């Protein structure tokens, strides 16, 4: 039964033939479709490979194993230097890139684009130390300066300065004389000195003959060059630098030998023993002495009332050979402190260095290698690199030292004339 507006149509042969004549079914070209899909797939795979390559991954998406991964740290360092000498930019860039990856992986740098950048090698001179070399460098620092590892170290991940709050005036406690009386209002006063890193450099000179013969020896020279430059510089920044050295900080407690005691041998054992009592108890706790070589030599020749040496040199403090204990506190020797036996010369400093001293550094160390020009070494000897067949390795660091509480330290010096 149909509705009023519906009709039943009988599909006769004539009607079916008429429909068939009007409908055209074209053949589907499956080969063309497959070809197009294959092209799309190849393009996608190519893009994926390129993306993996940028990420340091292989075609399988797994990390690539660099050809430098199995190279010894000694051969790697020499290879970089030789690439510079030969102006082999391709090899140098590859090795610097690999070195950067190791630095990022070990946490020495957090962003290689803003710190060490191997792409900046247009002059063919850039030398990027890898993580193994830096690790050995910082391990060696105490061998060149016992002071180098005393301070609390802060490594900048961005920028080149740090604001330090320093206490310049303390709270004053006053007695309230009557019940309900007025309470004096005082507050600590904080200064905010800004510490900015400063650039420093040291140079090591290597003969080409040594480069060609002994990778182990060259690596040792490079490692020790970095270590000496950084360690000595840290010691100067910590102790005697005109702007950052503790001996020049306003607020440091100063003790001066008696009026006629103008030479180091006149400094008494009693004076040195009293130094921890000149600083706050918190600074005395965990404190240590830094002596000049001249003062230690003088003290080591003295005995107490029982005939025992007043100092014990055991070489155990902070990796320093001339170190030990005095008056129950550890001590180390600084090569750059009290270098002359003269008037008004500081020969001893005491305080808690790890608590109240800050070493600020950027997270990178860089270097350049030169095979031409003239270099004057520490002994004032000039080296003509071309004529004498040598290369010069120039190492650069960015560091500075700050003391939020200078009053936590005491210095002892000879008298003025």
Q: Are residues 78 and 207 in the same domain?
A: no
Q: Are residues 143 and 82 in the same domain?
A: no
Task: Output phi, psi for 50, to 5 deg.
Answer: -65, -40
Q: Are residues 130 and 167 in the same domain?
A: yes
Which residue, 271, 299, 291, is CA-closest to 338? Answer: 291
Q: Are residues 195 and 118 in the same domain?
A: no
In a domain, 66, yes or no: no
Tens of pLDDT, residue by residue, the chain (417 residues): 555 556 666 666 776 666 666 655 555 566 776 777 777 777 777 777 777 666 556 666 665 677 888 888 888 888 888 888 788 888 888 888 888 888 877 776 655 444 444 444 434 457 888 888 888 888 888 888 888 888 888 877 667 777 665 554 455 565 666 665 555 555 454 444 677 888 887 788 888 888 777 787 888 888 888 888 888 889 999 999 999 999 999 889 999 998 889 999 999 999 999 999 999 888 899 999 999 999 999 999 898 888 888 898 888 777 777 889 999 999 999 999 999 999 999 999 999 998 888 888 876 677 788 888 898 876 788 999 889 888 888 878 888 998 888 889 999 999 997
Task: Give the span between the Cα atoms of 196 and 162, in whole angstroms.
Answer: 6
In a domain, 4, yes or no: no
Q: Which domain holds residue 116?
A: 73-124
In a domain, 33, yes or no: no
In a domain, 245, yes or no: yes
Number of folded domains in the chain?
A: 2
In a domain, 57, yes or no: no
Q: Are residues 316 and 207 in the same domain?
A: yes
Which of these three, 87, 102, 124, is where a domain ends?
124
Asked if 149 contacts 141 with a C-beta cutoff of 8 angstroms, the reply is yes
Asked if 412 contacts 257 with a C-beta cutoff of 8 angstroms, the reply is yes
Q: Are residues 387 and 343 in the same domain?
A: yes
Percent of the chain with pLDDT over 90: 23
Which residue, 226, 258, 262, is CA-closest to 338? Answer: 262
Give the pLDDT score at 337.
Answer: 95
Q: What angle do CA 232, 234, 235 make, to 5 degrees?
A: 65
264: domain CATH number is 3.90.1690
Asked if 370 contacts 394 with a C-beta cutoff of 8 angstroms, the reply is yes
- SS3 call for 83: helix
Q: Are residues 193 and 214 in the same domain?
A: yes
Give the pLDDT score at 202.
Answer: 79
Q: Are residues 192 and 108 in the same domain?
A: no
Give the pLDDT score at 119.
Answer: 44
Alpha-helical segments (H) within 240-319: 269-274, 281-284, 293-300
Give the pLDDT score at 120.
Answer: 46
Q: Are residues 91 and 157 in the same domain?
A: no
Which of these three, 103, 124, 145, is where a domain ends?
124
Give the pLDDT score at 411.
Answer: 97
Q: Are residues 104 and 228 in the same domain?
A: no
Q: Are residues 292 and 348 in the same domain?
A: yes
Give the pLDDT score at 7.
Answer: 61
pTM for this predicted structure: 0.69
In a domain, 37, yes or no: no
Task: Give the span between the Cα atoms of 337 and 241, in whole angstroms.
Answer: 11
| Predicted confidence (pLDDT) per residue in 212-250, tens digit | 777 878 888 888 888 888 888 899 999 999 999 999 998
Q: Are residues 110 and 215 in the same domain?
A: no
């Amino acid at each position: 039964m149909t509705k009023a507006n519906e009709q039943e149509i009988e599909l006769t042969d004539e009607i079916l033939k008429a429909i068939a004549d009007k409908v055209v079914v074209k053949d589907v070209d499956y080969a063309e479709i497959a070809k197009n899909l294959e092209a799309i797939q190849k393009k996608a795979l190519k893009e994926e490979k390129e993306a993996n390559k940028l990420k340091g991954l292989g075609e399988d998406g797994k990390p690539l194993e660099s050809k430098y991964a199995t190279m010894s740290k000694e051969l790697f360092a020499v290879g970089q230097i030789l690439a510079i000498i030969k102006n082999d930019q391709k090899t140098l860039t590859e090795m610097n890139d690999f070195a950067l990856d190791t630095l990022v992986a070990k946490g020495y740098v957090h962003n290689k684009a803003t710190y060490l950048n191997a792409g900046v090698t247009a002059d063919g001179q850039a030398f990027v130390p890898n993580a193994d070399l830096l690790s050995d460098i910082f391990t060696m620092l105490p061998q060149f300066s016992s002071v180098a590892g005393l301070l609390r170290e802060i490594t900048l991940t961005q920028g080149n300065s740090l604001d330090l709050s320093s206490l310049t005036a303390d709270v004053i406690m006053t007695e309230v004389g009557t019940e309900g009386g007025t309470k004096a209002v005082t507050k600590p006063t904080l200064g905010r000195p800004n510490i900015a890193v400063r650039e420093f450099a040291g140079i090591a000179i290597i003969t080409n003959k040594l480069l060609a013969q002994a990778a182990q020896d060259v690596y040792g020279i490079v490692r020790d060059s970095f270590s000496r430059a950084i360690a000595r510089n840290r010691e100067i920044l910590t102790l005697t630098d005109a702007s950052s050295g503790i001996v020049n900080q306003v607020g440091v407690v100063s003790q001066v030998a008696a009026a006629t005691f103008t030479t180091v041998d006149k400094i008494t054992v009693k004076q040195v023993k009293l130094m921890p009592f000149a600083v706050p108890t918190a600074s005395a706790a965990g404190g240590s002495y830094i002596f000049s070589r001249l003062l230690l030599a003088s003290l080591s020749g003295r005995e107490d009332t029982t005939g025992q040496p007043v100092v014990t040199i055991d070489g155990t403090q902070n990796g320093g050979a001339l170190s030990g204990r005095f008056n129950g506190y550890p001590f180390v020797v600084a090569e750059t402190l009290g270098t002359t036996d003269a008037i008004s010369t500081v020969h001893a400093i005491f305080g808690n260095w790890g608590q109240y001293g800050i070493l600020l550094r950027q997270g990178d160390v860089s270097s350049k290698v030169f095979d031409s020009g003239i270099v004057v070494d520490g002994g004032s000897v000039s080296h003509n690199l071309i004529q004498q067949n040598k290369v010069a390795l120039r190492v650069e660091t960015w560091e500075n030292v700050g003391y939020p509480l200078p009053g936590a330290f005491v210095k002892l010096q000879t008298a003025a004339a």
